[in-house]
Structure 1
């Protein structure tokens, strides 16, 4: 379980350092297996290059080798992608995560070139990240199979919400038994594990890390009934997400998660500019839902 942590902000280009420390300590105490910085949930596309590197350095210092740290490095510029990979290595990160470029159309052949160009500049293990809802581009299965021949690539995170695509990905265990297969959508976590997956990179872990860690422990113990029970509890987090405007992808869910973390006293609820925090009404609703979830989920 590698939570894709939100990026606590204190200003338009300033890390909420105290909030960052509280969040990371909250997750480590909750029993997560590792930390994923600068994913989609970390608002990577809206952060300055300077702030991204600073956040990685700060977070790695706080974690201090108590858990593996993965860093999202994707940028439309390969040069900037490689600079962040270098910053991750210098900070002591354990691996990097690469999704597809966005804005301009990219062919699958160009996507392979992009990945290869990153690998030429770093020795860190690399995890692929399929996020078509945000990048408008898939790592097509044939492309993933081609990239699986590269030893430095160690797995893939899939946030497509297409469980059939995910099942196809896990068939690559036949050629890469060492690969990690992560699922992004938390309501599919138990199903993905049953399909041969390794774990989750799930937004809700920011709030309830022990719940997700318990599911993983039950999975490792082959307790199917207990996994199902924890998954049912995880699905209840949707009630919090439903306070947000679900007509838009992802960002409102990040906003309501930051709002909940703020209510919990962990970090500020500021979003990267130009995006707005949740409204006062949404915050009030979130507080009510969060109180109920804390009781019902046993947190």
Structure 2
């Protein structure tokens, strides 16, 4: 689906439903998507912190994207979340997520690196699909520039001013 241009653009994080045995409930994902397609939502963020990202394997995250992609039938936008400080791993995941059906990537600013600008200079132009930069670094660290887990609002502005963002 093309990126929406009409205001308002309303995107929601998709919670991941689980069965009693802790497996991802793909049937529930499909049912939820059918309900949400009846709303004004333009798309969904998958595999984010609100989608239980930390509790899912890579295979589970990919299958969630595939299930959602099939259920949406191209009618809504899929944004896949990545939270990884490694440029190589971020690019590998970006390619896999795009291949599975993600049209955009939500990439969190790395919390464990002092080279945030360099990270994004390497990731953004090489990402398989456009990137949304999420500004959550470490709690309470946003304005403490110079720490290993922070960045300034000015740097974020510079990062998102480029192409493919």
Given that residues 84 and 110 in structure 2 are in contact (C-alpha distance below 8 angstroms), is that contact kept between their aligned partners in structure 1? yes
Q: For the residues of structure 1 that align with 2:73 and 2:102, how far apart are their CA atoms? A: 10
Larger Rg: 1
Q: Which residue of 2 is the match for residue 116 of structure 1?
A: 121
Deviation at 1:134, TM superposition (A): 5.6
Q: Which residue of 1 is the match for residue 155 of structure 2?
A: 143
Q: Which residue of 2 is the match for residue 56 of structure 1?
A: 65
Give the SS at the match of 2:42: coil
Where does the alignment leave 5 or more consecutive residues of structure 1 unmatched? 154-299
Q: What aligned pairs does 1:234-249 form with structure 2 within 5 A after superposition?
A: none
Given that residues 95 and 128 in structure 2 are in contact (C-alpha distance below 8 angstroms), is that contact kept between their aligned partners in structure 1? no
Where does the alignment leave 5 or more consecutive residues of structure 2 unmatched? 1-9, 142-148
Higher helix residue share:
1
Q: Which residue of 2 is the match for residue 229 of structure 1?
A: none
Q: Which residue of 2 is the match for residue 5 of structure 1?
A: 14
Q: For the residues of structure 1 that align with 2:104 and 2:66, how far apart are their CA atoms? A: 14
Q: What aligned pairs does 1:150-299 form with structure 2 within 5 A after superposition?
A: 150-153=162-165
Q: Which residue of 1 is the match for residue 133 of structure 2?
A: 128
Aligned CA-pair RMSD: 2.1
Deviation at 1:19, TM superposition (A): 0.7
Deviation per CA, 1:16-40: give whole Å up to 9, x if none.
0111111112222122111111121
Give the SS at the match of 2:79: strand
Give the SS at the match of 2:45: strand
* TM-score, structure 2 as length reference: 0.78
Deviation per CA, 1:110-166: give whole Å up to 9, x if none.
11122223224323111010124569544421111221331111xxxxxxxxxxxxx
Given that residues 130 and 138 in structure 1 are in contact (C-alpha distance below 8 angstroms), is that contact kept between their aligned partners in structure 2? no
Q: 2:81 aligns with which of 52, 72, 91?
A: 72
Give the SS at the match of 1:97: strand
